[in-house]
Amino acid sequence: MRAPASDLPLLLDDVSLRAGATTILDRLSLTIGPGAPTLIVGPNGAGKTSLLRLCMGLEAPSSGRISWGGRSNSAMARRAILFQRPVMLRRRAAANVAYALAQAGIPRKLRASRVAALLERVGLSDLARRPARRLSGGEQQRLALARALARDPEILLLDEPTANLDPAATRSVEEIVLSAARSGIKIVMASHDLGQVRRLAGDVVFLVRGALCERSRAEDFLDHPATPEAAAFLRGDLVI
């Protein structure tokens, strides 16, 4: 059996995204390759969510090209995305994960053991039989992670997953993300939290008003920003 083709490097070439008269992303050119997590930062409205959705393939750019591993129409099979507010299916936690496995084509016989393994990985084994909608915010986000990991993705995209969580829950989620990164999954994560950037990032993509402002390694971005907007952002000023 041929090994499935890789979705990396993820290449955006002069990509723009427009909605009516508004430009959400403006001639973005970006390459995301394998390795340490890439964190996407920028002020609200900078286009982080839209960038992630384009990378996942949920939307098509208005102009420009996206390619995954050199292919411009790649199926989503090897990618997974986590939204800021995950939607839980109205069934038990374990059933949610089983659902994701089923959609990923895993045969029924293998699902039970994988569900258990995934729940273990995200620390939800004790809550397997709890209705998913009755989990706390942090638990739901971890369950969403389990669902995403069920797809055995090559790229895991996350859209500010800890924005609404308390520090303890944030830490659990970050631990799972880091362990996923260590196991070889490419993490592409939007974040609003500079501390999180420091904890997780390998490299940083800094967006302002839909355009790529700066792209560098995490330490360089945080300690020696190259652009005035980046410096202002790091200081905590409003970057308009």
Partner 1 sequence: MADHLSAWQLILSGDAALFAIVRLSLAVSLSAVVLAALIGMPLGALLGLTRFPGRSVLVVLLNALMGLPPVVVGLAVYLLLSRSGPLGALGILFTPTAMVIAQTILIVPIIAAPTRQTVEDLWVEYRDELTAMDVSPAGRMTTLLWDARFSLLTALLAGFGRAAAEVGAVMIVGGNIDGFTRTMTTAVALETSKGNLPLAMGLGLILVVIVLAINAAAWGTRVWSERQAG
Smallest separation, CB 75 to partner 1 (Å)? 7
How many Å apart are CA 11 and CA 28, to the nearest integer?
A: 10
Is the CB of 102 or the CB of 231 nearer to partner 1?
A: 102
Side chain identity, residue 92: R
Smallest separation, CB 10 to partner 1 (Å)? 16
Is the CB of 101 or the CB of 213 nearer to partner 1?
A: 101
- 3-class state of residue 224 by DSSP: coil
Non-local CB neighbours of 34 within 8 Å, separated by 6+ positions: 8, 9, 186
Contact 141, 165 (CB under 8 A): yes
Q: Is 152 left (phi over 0), alpha (psi -120 to 50) or beta?
A: left
Side chain identity, residue 195: G
Smallest separation, CB 237 to partner 1 (Å)? 32
CA angle, corner 236, sides to 22 and 15, nearest 5?
30
Is the CB of 84 or the CB of 125 nearer to partner 1?
A: 84
Is the CB of 95 or the CB of 194 nearer to partner 1?
A: 95
Smallest separation, CB 214 to partner 1 (Å)? 28
**DSSP label of 133:** G
How many Å apart are CA 50 and CA 45, to the nearest integer?
A: 9
**Joined tokens for residue 12:** 């955006």
Query: Other C-beta atoms within 10 Å of 136: how many?
Result: 12
Is the CB of 62 or the CB of 103 nearer to partner 1?
A: 103
Residues that bind partner 1 (CB under 8 A): 56, 58, 75-77, 80-81, 83, 86-87, 89-92, 95, 99-100, 103-104, 130-134, 147, 151
Nearest C-alpha neighbor of 66 from the set 102, 30, 113: 30
Smallest separation, CB 213 to partner 1 (Å)? 27
Is the CB of 58 or the CB of 112 nearer to partner 1?
A: 58
Smallest separation, CB 101 to partner 1 (Å)? 10
